[in-house]
Amino acid sequence: MQLNIFGQTFEYRNDRTELDAMFQQISRMVSEAGRQLSHLVIDGVEVYDDVETYIEERIDSIRTIDVVAVTMEEYIRDVFQTMHSYLTRSLPEIERIIDEFYQTPSEDTWVRFEQMLEGIQWIDQALYWLAEHRNDTIDRQTLVCMRETLAESLRQLLQAVEADDAIFIADLIQYEIKPLLKDIMEHVKVNVVN
């Protein structure tokens, strides 16, 4: 398979034993260029998450891997844009989840609740990453504060889930988590526009 990175091409055998060397090559070159790995384009398919598994599952047929690395500023902007897109889509769904928990939550409600929690976990990780990589001290403090508030709300939500208290779950989402996500959305909007 052919690895293309920063205008250079490297050949690797389609063999799992080659993957460590290939990923080390990618990591070293991206780091030396002062860039951040955005994603890989594998035989024309953009792969953002779990690239190692994606490659391992297709190791016998992969022909080309193109590395997409961006500047830190571009990566930060992409994280804000992704967060904005996620929050825009998820806030209406969170309203439906709240309504269903105030009634009797179905199995589907619990599945969507779990998906909401996975999204919130991603937001938490993104806030952590942004706080670590922002140069603006005031913005960093805001991100850390949002993350701490989110963590406390999630601790309370866990207690409500353990108590199997659907009304308390709905109240926490309605009065703690949703307003915080809206605050995060406003912060994100400012950074997406700027």
DSSP 77-128: HHHHHHHHHHHHHHHHHHHHHHHHHHS---HHHHHHHHHHHHHHHHHHHHHH
Share of the chain above pLDDT 90, in %: 78
In 3D, which of 157, 192, 194 has the Cα closest to residue 87? 192
Which portions of the chain are predicted below pLDDT 70?
A: 134-138, 193-194
Q: What is the pLDDT of residue 116?
A: 95
Q: What is the pLDDT of residue 146?
A: 92
Q: Which uninterrupted H or E stretch holds 1?
A: none
Global model pTM greater than 0.95: no
- Number of Cβ within 10 Å of residue 88's Cβ equals 12
53/50 Cα distance (integer angstroms) = 6
120/87 Cα distance (integer angstroms) = 10
Contact status, residue 154 vs residue 109, Cβ threshold 8 Å: no
Q: What is the pLDDT of residue 73?
A: 85
